[in-house]
Amino acid sequence: MKRICASLLLTAVVLTACSATGVSIPALEGSLAGERLPGKIIWHELITDTPEQTQRFYTELFGWEFEPLSDKNINYFLIRQNGKAIGGMINQNRLPTKADISQWVALFSVTDIAAATDQVASSRGTVFTPPTSLGDRGKIAVVADPQGALFALLQTANGDPADTAEPASVGDFFWHELWTGDIDRAVTFYGKLAPYQMERRNLGTGNESIDYFVMQTQQQKRGGIRVNPFKGLPPIWVNYLQILDDAELDRILAKVESLGGEILVPAASRPSGGTVAMIAGPSGAGIALQTWKNEEQLAKFGEQ
């Protein structure tokens, strides 16, 4: 678990490196023609020091495709799942650092990135980079909440990907969760950053009580906040990939180590339903896997 959290400042430099050279990153697909969905996580960036092994790892496990940009001088790959762009990959070895900063970073939609970064600062969070242009993609700022959980803000140039009634595809991102040391402090911080409705639930079973807050905007569930389940792990945003069922999850986990990855948390039943596991790719960047079959099941997330 140690490699999941890396140098925040170096990561900030990486995610804004393209702007320093005037490079334009493609706009997000499926936009709402200028409309934005503040509070929705709309993109994911993977920084890796093992790019070839990482591509093979995710391709073998989930069928992902890695598409380099037409300009080979740009250190960036689009990640596609069933033809749909779901994230980007940056080759850490082409960056001016020897530190290990391999990790996944979630990007949150905002309507006014200057106001959002001001809000982070005024709420005692950290702004690692001010709003910075990524050309056609929009403007990005890399920040951390007051407890140190890293994420990024993105004000898209052409609008955010629309919410759809279609369930997420297997191998696609479908849930996001903050593991934090002080859940009430985190709820206050994110409630000021975006127009979240925070719904408190209890994920406990038996005598164990686990507070869980479901974050909602635009009448859609966007993610959750819970107390960090692992002692010594710094606060972190965890990204979840959808897996169809337990049999598929077992098949995936059986291949992780042979592809150079690691099983960080073995498969276990989740009180709200489904089975969850956590793995790391060859670079050590961690990601969670969760079995969900449909949107009706997701609508019950957090219920006993």
CA 61 to chain centroid: 18
Residue 242, in any domain of the structure: no
Residue 223 lies in a domain: no
- The pLDDT mean for the chain works out to 87
Q: Which amino acid is at 147?
A: Q
Residue 260: predicted pLDDT: 98
Q: Residue 161 in contact with residue 28, Cβ under 8 Å?
A: yes
Q: What is the pLDDT of residues 135-189, one digit of tens each?
A: 999 999 999 999 999 999 999 999 999 998 666 678 899 899 999 999 999 999 9
Give the tens place of pLDDT for each residue, 1-37: 444 444 444 455 455 554 444 567 889 987 777 899 9
State which amino acid sits at residue 60: E
Q: Is the CB of residue 274 less than 8 Å from the CB of residue 290? A: yes
User: pTM of the predicted model, to two decimals?
Assistant: 0.90
Q: Is residue 26 part of a domain?
A: yes
In angstroms, rounded to a whole number, what is the distance separating the alpha carbons of residues 163 and 182? Answer: 30
Q: What is the pLDDT of residue 304?
A: 37
pLDDT band at 99 (very low <50, low <70, confident <90, very high): low
Q: Is the pLDDT of residue 253 over 80?
A: yes
Q: At what angle do helices 51-62 and 246-256 cross, to 10 degrees?
A: 150
- Taking the C-alpha atoms of residue 301 and residue 111, their distance in angstroms, rounded to an integer, is 27
The radius of gyration of the chain's CA atoms, rounded to the nearest angstrom, is 18
> What pLDDT was estimated at residue 25?
87
213 within some domain: no
CA dist., res. 260 & res. 258, Å (int) = 6
Assign 264 a pLDDT band (cuts: 50, 70, 90). Answer: very high
In the predicted model, is pLDDT for residue 300 greater than 70? no
Torsion over CA: 67, 222, 37, 109 (sign):
negative
Closest CA to 250 of 272, 267, 270, 274: 267
CATH number, domain with residue 24: 3.10.180.10
The pLDDT value recorded for residue 170 is: 83
Does the structure show a pLDDT above 80 at 294? no
Answer yes or no: is pLDDT of 298 > 60.
Answer: no
Residue 125 resides in a domain: yes
Average pLDDT over residues 276-292: 95
> What pLDDT does residue 96 have?
64
Number of structural domains, the chain?
A: 1
Instruction: Note whether residue 71 is domain-resident.
Output: yes
Distance CA 175, CA 272 (A): 13
Q: Is residue 139 part of a domain?
A: yes
223-240 pLDDT, tens per residue?
Answer: 999 999 998 889 999 999
Tell whether 17 is covered by a domain.
yes
Q: H/E element holding 121?
A: helix 113-122
Give the helix, strand, coil percentages of the chain, each rounded to 5.
Answer: 25, 35, 40
Predicted local confidence at residue 22, as pLDDT: 58
- State percent of the chain over pLDDT 70: 84
Question: d(Cα 217, Cα 132) in Å, to the nearest integer?
Answer: 25
Domain range for 79: 2-156
Backbone angles phi, psi at 133, to 5 degrees: -75, 135
- The length of the chain, given as a count of residues: 304
- 270 pLDDT band, cuts 50/70/90, is confident
